Each structure stands twice: as C-alpha cells, then as structure tokens.
Amino acid sequence: MSEREYDIGTAELEVLSALWELGPSTVRAVLNHLHERGRRVAYTTVLTYMTRLEAKGFVRTDKREQAYVYRAAVTQSKVRRSRLRQLLDQLYDGASAPLALQLIRQGRFTREEIDELRQLIDRLDVKRGGSQPD
Amino acid sequence: MSEREYDIGTAELEVLSALWELGPSTVRAVLNHLHERGRRVAYTTVLTYMTRLEAKGFVRTDKREQAYVYRAAVTQSKVRRSRLRQLLDQLYDGASAPLALQLIRQGRFTREEIDELRQLIDRLDVKRGGSQPD
DNA sequence: GACTATCCACGACGTTTGTAGTAGATTTTG
DNA sequence: CAAAATCTACTACAAACGTCGTGGATAGTC
C-alpha cells in the first residue's frame, strides 16, 4: 500500500549496497569493500554515512563486542521499485512502456536474457487484467 | 562518446519538463503550467530554477520584448538515457536485464505495447552483436 | 500622470549531502 | 605497562537545492 520515500544519497547508497552484498558488517568491512573497488573515502566518512542511514531507518545496528555491526533494514527490492517509480514519474509521465522499449533497444542482452524476456512477455499477454505489481 | 552528467534537481526537472512539453516559454507560462497541474510554487521560485538551469547550460534564453523566453537546451532523450544509466549503475550493477524484467513484470501494458515489445525483442534476437545504442 | 501589475536581479535561509578531522574511550600489542 | 591501533561521538564545512522576498525598472491602465 505505502510508497515510502527512499531519500538516499548517492554516497549513502553505495554504503547500503555494500551491506546488501556483504550482509551485516562493521564500518571497517564496508570501508574495505569500497576501497577494493577503487572508491576512495575516509573511515569517518563511511561512519557518517552509516550513522545517517541509521537515523533515516535504512539500516540497524547491533551493539557487538568490539564494533557496531550494521545491517540493511530495507531490501534492495524496495529501493529498486521506489527508484524505478521515481524515474518513471519524473521522465516518462509514469508510463512503463516507453522506458521498457528504450531499455530493450539500448541495452545489451544475452540470448538467455532475451528468451527470458520473451517468455515473460508471452505470459503477460495471457494473464492480462489481473496484474499484481511485483 | 561523452556521457555528460545531468545534475538536475527534482524541482528543476519539473521546469525543464514543462519546457519540453510547452516549447519555448516565459517564466509566467511555465508557472501557469505548473499551477494547472496542482504544483504550488511562487513565481520567483520558478524564476530561480530557470536561472539555475541556464547557468548549468540546460536551457537558453532569448531576450524578447517583454520577458525572457526560455527553451530547453538538452533533449529529453539525453536526460532519459543519462538517468537510466545512473539507475542501472546504482542499483542493478549496470545490467539491463534485471531492470527490464522487473519493469515488464510490474508495469501495466496495453496489448499494443506488448506487441511492440515482442517485436522489438524478436528483432533483437536476430541482429545480435551489432547493437547501436539508441 | 498616478496607480497597478509584471519582470528580473539579488540575496537569503534552511536542509540534505559528500566529505572529513578531532578527541576521548577502548583494545591490542610489543 | 606503554605505545599504537581502532572505534565512535561530535563538529565542521562547502556545495547543491528547494523555496521565497525585496526592490527597482518597465509597462499597461484609469
């Protein structure tokens, strides 16, 4: 029912993404993860992001022994849906079709992905009218 | 070649969208357009957005008689592509397929749109390897 | 010609975001 | 234990953004 707003900045989202990928982690672990992929940022900066994410309710912390352990409190799925809807509303007048077409035209797909897309579309075609948004 | 950054705020984008829809317009015209669709905002606010958009090179102005006429200096297409790429990078690890699948699953489509999608996919299937991003 | 509406240049202000340093507490290590 | 490393709380700060108000210039109206 609700369409909560996910106001997460770019840098904050990188951190949240790290948590999705790594699972519950300390600031240090997230920092290392970011460094590994070439992202230059200071420890305290990451700490700030995580603190802010917590304040906004997007992550939770467990007081552990040494350091706090943070874990995502929102699913990637939800954020994806929210951002997608935002994109649709802002630039496609809310309509999915134009974006879908653009995406398929400009994206690169493997044969498997193409088959999957086709199957999905075929199924769509059949069970019209009872759409239960994913 | 270039993948210019389109740093346009939400409110600024509303204004730019109005220009895409209305064509070259004065601040007053854009304001009216926004008001018509229930968007409450002051004249000077819109003026500020337009000035900022101009400073960033996203719109141009023609000194006319009475008032300035603003027109978009970037196409909707370009902004769409840029934002789509951003979304893909930030939340889909750059891969188009997952988003395409999600979009098709959660979107609502008319039969015509479905046919169009299918045709596009069929064509994709054939001319693999020579993708010329739109 | 005086009043009124319109237009824009500037400045302002609070919030969000990216980014990080300092300092004090705690833990690990030599 | 003393020194070094680690951790978190706090503070800071600049840029971006959303949002307007003021005030002076111009134009249209009675």
Confidence of residue A1 (pLDDT cuts 50, 70, 90): very low
Q: Which nucleotide is nearest to B52 (CA to C1')?
A: D17
The interface predicted TM-score (ipTM) is 0.89
pLDDT at position B66 is: 80
Confidence of residue B125 (pLDDT cuts 50, 70, 90): low
Q: How far apart are CA A9 and CA A83, in angstroms?
A: 12
Which domains does chain A show, CATH number per domain? 10-72 (1.10.10.10), 76-126 (no CATH)
Going from the C-alpha of A134 to that of each of A85, A107, B52, B104, B106, the distances in angstroms are: 12, 22, 38, 10, 5
Q: In the predicted model, what is the mean pLDDT of residues B62-71?
A: 87
Portion 50-89 of B in contact with A at CB < 8 A: 76, 79-81, 83-84, 87
A60 half-sphere exposure, CB direction, 13 A CA radius: 4
A64 touches strand D (CB under 7 A): no
